[in-house]
Amino acid sequence: MVNAVMVVMKKLILSFTVAALMLSASCGSPADHPPVQNAPEAPADMKMQTDTIVKIANAATIMARPEVPVLCYHQIREWKGNESRGVKDVVVPPAVFKSQLQLLADSGYQTILPDDLYAYLTEGKPLPDKPVMLTYDDSDHDQYAIAAPEMKKHGFKGVFFIMTVSLGRSIYMNKQQVKELSDDGHVIALHTWDHHDVRKYKNEDWEIQIAKPARELEALTGKPVQYFAYPFGAWNKEAIPELKKNNIKAAFQLSVRRDSSEPLYTIRRMIVPGDWSAQTMHRAMQRTFKN
């Protein structure tokens, strides 16, 4: 009988002790509390399926939005002698360029920048009735000397995809000119270090061609570099995760169809050849970006 009573007493004492300890812990400071364990994560395959569903839904929404005309220019200068067909495709005489911008202005087009396009595609934010994006590749000096002043006449802004190896070299912009464009409200974006085809990148190429030049441009302008143009307009599926790792929000190719699963990283642009009149360019815009 005595033994039974002793057992009951021990159990009561133990219960009171545990209760006291729990009460003490609940009144202590946050530092006294043991860390709260997170709920167990969903299995990896389930999480992957969820991410894929969200990604497809977003991509489908983006693909359903009407495309915006994005024009691509390279050199703006007079032709030299008997220029080849390939040269004429990327060299626009100044008078032709000016007539093209004049037609855009007279037709009521308003320029937008990549942040505007990104917000429109991802959130449905409204754009002007006639939006157009003007982009320039390779850092040529005539973009600073001719294109920028001509855009200013019309209140236009543009996107300059910079190839950093060229900065300060003959026929190219220098760092101060790039900063001036940024300070004037244009967007400075990335076009690799030396125009190397992204489909051939391996290992350290991503640091050399993307990460390092992006840091250089950010230090130069004081603004993040979040947009990218593929050299030659060429891309592959393997490049897109690497661009995302380097904080690139969207990437621009040329005129082939967008990728339905990654439309933000395959935004289309149209090269404007140097022998197109303003009217020809306008018709091509309407045909290429027909929605």
pLDDT of 130 over the 50 cut: yes
Element at 141 (helix H, strand E): helix 141-142
pLDDT of 135 over the 90 cut: yes
Are 169 and 140 within 8 A, CB to CB? no
pLDDT at 81: 84
Q: Count Cβ atoms below 10 Å from residue 222 Cβ, excluding itself.
A: 9
| Domains in the chain: boundaries | 67-288
**C-alpha–C-alpha distance, residues 28 and 12, integer Å:** 25
Residue 135: partners with Cβ closer than 8 Å, 6 or more residues away: 70, 71, 72, 73, 158, 159, 160, 161, 229, 252, 269
**C-alpha–C-alpha distance, residues 142 and 75, integer Å:** 7
pLDDT at 55: 54
Angle in degrees, CA 264, 243, 169, rounded to 5: 110
pLDDT at 290: 82
Summarize pLDDT for 139-151 with one digit per residue, the tens.
999 999 999 999 9
Q: Just give the CATH number of 67-288.
A: 3.20.20.370
Residue 20: partners with Cβ closer than 8 Å, 6 or more residues away: none
Which token pair is 173? 């912009």
Instruction: Find the mean pLDDT for residues 5-12.
Output: 40
